[in-house]
Amino acid sequence: MDKSEILRKQEMKAKEMAHNLTLLNKCNKTYKRIIIAYLFSLTFFPLLSFFLMLGSVFADDTIFLTFESFVVYSLAIYCAWQAAYKKRDLFVLFTGGLAVLNQVILTIFKHYANGEYLKYFKFDSVGYTNRIHLAVLLIILIITAINMKTNIIFHKLEEADGYPHFNERFFDQDMTSRQIKIRDPYQEKLDNLKKTASDQMTELTIGSTKLNAHEDNYRNEYMDDV
């Protein structure tokens, strides 16, 4: 391979790493926005239900709304944290699925709710929150779609050369350290043979020393008898 070909490949690798570094920075910025968006969208509805419960002086319908929204959205917040911070794709689906589940619960409960009788009018809290939740659901689904797209890009970057620094110097150092750790199989066999031979020589030396000591003892005993 001539020098120009080597330089061309190095230039291509440098451009690829620069492009991947740009994508990684964009992903990190997007994740920060996603976490903030999750925080507002997933806490809005439980807080709304809670304040409706206080405003209706703990009416039965609003107590149920508050309870089920806190349960469902507590799970959704955990899943969203796993989806955006831990980059786990399955939890992205769980987050959107829990928001859809909450919409289904509201739609079913709407047919059984009685409404709250306030001082001057009857207030249909379930029907009101059901309409608001449709807008919240749409926002959450958009966030999960962005989250999934960002996760796909991030996982590809994880498999790329140079991750997470995408710097040629770090990449070369990493490759060098990996090559040092990889031992030549023939060299490994030779080292094992040398170790085995050394152990055998040690055993022969110890055996010879013991034999000489035994002969000396025997000779001394014989001379003493004479």
Do 21 and 48 belong to one domain? yes
d(CA 113, CA 124) in angstroms, rounded, equals 8
Do 191 and 116 belong to one domain? no
Give which of 79, 90, 101 is closest to 34, Cα–Cα: 79
Whether pLDDT at 71 is above 70: yes
The model's pLDDT over 48-57, given as tens digits with 9 standing for 90+, comes to 889 888 877 7
Do 97 and 200 belong to one domain? no
Which among 128, 151, 171 is the end of a domain? 171
Size (the chain), residues: 226
Strand, helix or coil for residue 117? strand
Amino acid at the residue 173? Q
Do 122 and 201 belong to one domain? no
| 211: exposed, middle or buried (Cβ count in 10 Å: 0-12, 13-18, 19+) | exposed
Which among 125, 142, 171 is the end of a domain? 171
Q: How many CA atoms does the CB half-sphere of 182 hold within 13 Å?
A: 6
Q: Are 85 and 38 in contact (CB under 8 A)?
A: no
pLDDT value at residue 196: 64
The model's pLDDT over 117-176, given as tens digits with 9 standing for 90+, comes to 444 445 577 788 888 999 999 999 999 999 999 999 999 999 988 888 887 665 455 545
Do 194 and 132 belong to one domain? no
pLDDT value at residue 7: 72
Do 16 and 104 belong to one domain? yes
Do 104 and 69 belong to one domain? yes
Calculate the dihedral angle through the C-alpha atoms of 153, 154, 157, 158, rounding to the nearest 10 degrees.
Answer: -140
Do 119 and 185 belong to one domain? no
Do 130 and 219 belong to one domain? no
Do 162 and 185 belong to one domain? no
The model's pLDDT over 195-210, given as tens digits with 9 standing for 90+, comes to 665 555 555 555 555 5
Q: Are 92 and 129 in contact (CB under 8 A)?
A: no
How much of the chain, in percent, has pLDDT values that exceed 90? 42
Whether pLDDT at 76 is above 90: yes
Instruction: Give the residue numbers spanning the domain of 26.
Output: 3-171
Which among 171, 192, 207 is the end of a domain? 171
User: Domain total for the chain?
Assistant: 2
Do 127 and 20 belong to one domain? yes
Do 62 and 149 belong to one domain? yes
Question: How is 1-39 classified by DSSP, letter by letter?
Answer: --HHHHHHHHHHHHHHHHHHHHHHHHHHHHHHHHHHHHH
